[in-house]
Amino acid sequence: AQSVTQLGSHVSVSEGALVLLRCNYSSSVPPYLFWYVQYPNQGLQLLLKYTSAATLVKGINGFEAEFKKSETSFHLTKPSAHMSDAAEYFCAVSFNAGGTSYGKLTFGQGTILTVHP
Amino acid sequence: DAGVIQSPRHEVTEMGQEVTLRCKPISGHDYLFWYRQTMMRGLELLIYFNNNVPIDDSGMPEDRFSAKMPNASFSTLKIQPSEPRDSAVYFCASSLVGVSYNEQFFGPGTRLTVL
């Protein structure tokens, strides 16, 4: 079975500081991995996705994530935080195989990012 | 494309009343998902459809909840009778599996308050 664990339900950084949001996954087959962002009172929006083409994936708003198979991780980073980055971030995993999980995303529990001036 | 459309955006109702939430997926997408989000339980998958057929409804909390997808462009989630603990934000999402690596596109959500 596939699963996702996000380490830290809340992360707080200063404006201009590095953002690091951690995600570890469990999957019996090569996964597809996603990061979504949810701004207050909005739906989830795709930040970036890993589909096995390249291990370092660049997304919108300056975010990137690196797929590390040996560590089963897909951590999200941004070199310099902006106030506008304050939101909740979700890591998700999927894979393209048969069975009842086909087409589903399994989401982590989310990490709320707070950015201080 | 207009994206996934949900209506209403906000719903306030009294306990015992029937509530119907609506969703229009992105045209051409073959999967549709209903999620519920609360502070306590986070994001939960309730049910999903493939080509209008329910595939997995194991996340539907009780028999009070039902979902239908009569055609490729419309789905409903119904709660009857509603209870205060059903208060949450309900999201609909759609995807084109096999083409977009299962990427899901989310609607803006319906915020339900049951008094």
Would strands B10-13 and B110-114 be described as parallel, antiparallel, or unpaired? parallel
Cβ–Cβ below 8 Å for A104 and B91: no
Peptide bond into A30 cis (omega under 30): no
Give me the pLDDT at residue A96, please: 62
Would strands B19-24 and B74-79 be described as parallel, antiparallel, or unpaired? antiparallel
Cβ–Cβ below 8 Å for A103 and B42: no
Q: Which of residues 13-72 of B touch A (CB under 8 A)?
A: 31, 33, 42-43, 45, 48, 50, 55-56
pLDDT in tens, B43-58: 999 999 999 999 999 9
pLDDT in tens, A27-51: 777 788 999 999 998 999 999 999 8
Give me the pLDDT at residue B1, please: 66
Listed residue (A22, A30, A21) closest to A2, CA to CA: A30
pLDDT in tens, A82-104: 999 999 999 999 876 655 566 78
